[in-house]
Amino acid sequence: MRGSSLATRLFLSATAWVVVILLITGVILSSVYRNATERAFDRRLNLYLRTLIAEVATPDEPPDHQFQSLGEPLFELPLSGWYWQIVRTDEKAETKASRSLWDKKLPKMEDQGAELTAAGIRLGYIDGPEGQSLRVVERPIDLGADGKFLVSVAGDASEIFDEIRAFDYYLGGTFAALGIVLLLTTIFQVRFGLAPLKRISESIADIRSGRAERLEGEFPVEIAPLARETNALIDANREIVERARTHVGNLAHAIKTPLSVIVNEASANAVNPFASKVLEQADVMRNQVAHHLERARIAARVTIVATVTEVAPAIEALRRTMEKIHRDRGITIVLKADPSARFRGERQDLEEMAGNLVDNACKWAASQVLIEVLVERPAQPGIGPRLRIVVDDDGRGLSAAERAQVSRRGQRLDESKPGSGLGLSIVVDLAALYGGSLVLGDAPIGGLRAELVLPGI
């Protein structure tokens, strides 16, 4: 059951227990009823047996009046399934039997392996005339000088089997109905009992997608501590992020001021070779500090519970801005955006990544830049959609070696173009922090293709 839901596992477990308990209970009840039915049948046979023994013990009664007190017409009906038999077991071997037995004889229970009970009788089942299944009670008696006898009474066992079968049918139907009711009750209890957990799951999904900030609403006593601790964890996460942002800001101010002092002092002696070297290294330090502070700021922001950004309006605003910036070169920027595209992150980060890519494309494009925003739906359950932003230009393009070089921090292919060389590396770092990636390739329109993949929603 790997991968199955908690509700499914609970339902299957409860179903298995219900079935097992009902089966065991049914077997026990059927066995108890069978024993009770056999005891009731045996009492009836024992009544006839005692009557026959009393008749045998009073042989002075006329033969035509003997054995008339049984009161059971079936003993007179040939092969009816109800028989009695008296066998003298001493030297005067003779047999008396009911008329229903006709010319047949009942087998001895002793020969069938039956043992005497504490009451001095033998009980069991035998095959009678015409293949009938008979329940037999048999008792040996010793009348001393009057002889030794073996008295047997047999009844049709089909009465027992029919009673048990009818009881089993009723029992099976009752338990089947009871099982259905119990399973429906279990389904209701599982769904009702797990509903708060489902609500918490949906609330957490809303928090991750930016639709909510905390778990709201009333929860059962058993679930309330989970909701409370989850909210406390969210608050603690926000506090950590705010503290990190504060430290990043303080670090930025603490480092920028000494660097500015160094740059100002070196600029005052720019003709000095040593001062020129200091200016060069200070510029490297400034870029390094800017880069790492930017990474720290990004990491602090993406650690917090995510927000959701509409992609199409953000990219459209970016397109208009870039057209104005590069208006003097006559660059045309065409945008094709899926209106349903949404980014699981902050708008500022999306604008920074896309802005670097579009600005870079505009710098190198001859006349045209194409931007396409696509949403890829997941092929497997449990995986969110992916947002794909493709930026193409019609410039000279880059070779594979050049593409590998420009994605490294501070690397520039053309010093005549403005910039610090940190743009693409920041895009790579920022995309990685969101679980995305940047791939450079050849554009269909002849220049460079930059393909940014980010988590969507």
- Are 63 and 94 part of one and the same domain? yes
DSSP state of 456: B
Structure tokens at 410: 């501070």
SS (H, E, C) 66-113: CCCCCCCHHHCCCCCCCEEEEEECCCCCCEEECHHHCCCCCCCCCCCC
Query: Within a 10 A sphere around the Cβ of 73, how many other Cβ atoms?
Result: 10
The pLDDT-based confidence of 423 (bands split at 50, 70, 90) is low
- Are 242 and 385 part of one and the same domain? no
Cα four-point dihedral sign 205, 211, 213, 214: negative
**In the predicted model, is pLDDT for residue 418 greater than 80?**
no
- Are 289 and 312 part of one and the same domain? no
Q: Output the pLDDT for position 370.
A: 94
191 in a structural domain: no
Strands, sheet with 148-156, edge to edge from the N-terminal-most edge strand: 95-97, 83-88, 148-156, 133-142, 122-127
Domain boundary among 255, 271, 303: 303
282 in a structural domain: yes
112 in a structural domain: yes
The pLDDT-based confidence of 243 (bands split at 50, 70, 90) is confident
CA distance readout (Å), 318 to 156, 265, 344, 364, 371:
98, 39, 18, 17, 11
Exposed, middle or buried, 138 (CB in 10 Å: 0-12/13-18/19+)?
buried
Q: Output the pLDDT for position 155.
A: 92
Q: Output the pLDDT for position 299.
A: 59
The pLDDT-based confidence of 7 (bands split at 50, 70, 90) is low
Q: Which residue is associated with the tokens 């209970």?
A: 25
Pairing of the two strands 342-344 and 386-393:
unpaired
- The distance of Cα 367 from the centroid of its chain, to the nearest Å, equals 55
| Percentage of the chain exceeding pLDDT 90 | 23
Q: Output the pLDDT for position 145.
A: 80
- Are 18 and 158 part of one and the same domain? yes
- Are 333 and 270 part of one and the same domain? no
- Are 231 and 250 part of one and the same domain? yes
Pairing of the two strands 332-337 and 368-376:
parallel
**In the predicted model, is pLDDT for residue 409 greater than 70?**
no
- Are 14 and 149 part of one and the same domain? yes
DSSP states along 137-200: EEEEEE-GGG-EEEEEEEEETHHHHHHHHHHHHHHHHHHHHHHHHHHHHHHHHHHHHHHHHHHH
pLDDT in tens, 43-82: 999 999 988 888 887 766 555 555 555 677 888 888 888 9
Coil, helix or strand at residue 231:
helix
179 in a structural domain: no
- Are 146 and 118 part of one and the same domain? yes
Q: Which domain holds residue 60?
A: 7-162
Cα four-point dihedral sign 328, 420, 349, 393: positive
pLDDT in tens, 304-353: 555 678 999 999 999 999 988 888 888 899 999 999 898 888 788 888 89
The pLDDT-based confidence of 410 (bands split at 50, 70, 90) is very low
Query: Within a 10 A sphere around the Cβ of 114, how many other Cβ atoms?
Result: 17
138 in a structural domain: yes
212 in a structural domain: no
The pLDDT-based confidence of 377 (bands split at 50, 70, 90) is confident
- Are 278 and 347 part of one and the same domain? no
| Percentage of the chain exceeding pLDDT 70 | 84
Q: Which residue is associated with the tokens 């005497």?
A: 116
Q: Select from 387, 367, 330 the least CA-distant residue to 447.
A: 367
- Are 61 and 141 part of one and the same domain? yes
| pLDDT, greater one: 352 or 247 | 352
DSSP state of 306: P
219 in a structural domain: no
Domain boundary among 283, 303, 323: 303
- Are 451 and 431 part of one and the same domain? yes
The total number of structural domains that make up the chain: 3
As a whole number, mean pLDDT of residues 147-164 equals 91
How many contiguous H segments (helices) and E segments (strands) does the chain have?
Answer: 8, 12
Q: What is the CATH number of the domain that holds 128?
A: 3.30.450
What are phi and psi for residue 244, nearest 5 degrees? -65, -40
DSSP states along 315-380: HHHHHHHHHHHTGGGT-EEEEEE-TT-EEES-HHHHHHHHHHHHHHHHHH-SSEEEEEEEEEPPSS
**In the predicted model, is pLDDT for residue 411 greater than 60?**
no
As a whole number, mean pLDDT of residues 372-385 equals 79
The predicted model scores a pTM of 0.47
Coil, helix or strand at residue 418:
coil
72 close to 177: Cβ distance less than 8 angstroms: no
Q: What is the CATH number of the domain that holds 438?
A: 3.30.565.10
As a whole number, mean pLDDT of residues 182-186 equals 84
393 in a structural domain: yes
- Are 50 and 141 part of one and the same domain? yes
pLDDT in tens, 293-302: 666 666 555 5
Domain boundary among 110, 140, 162: 162
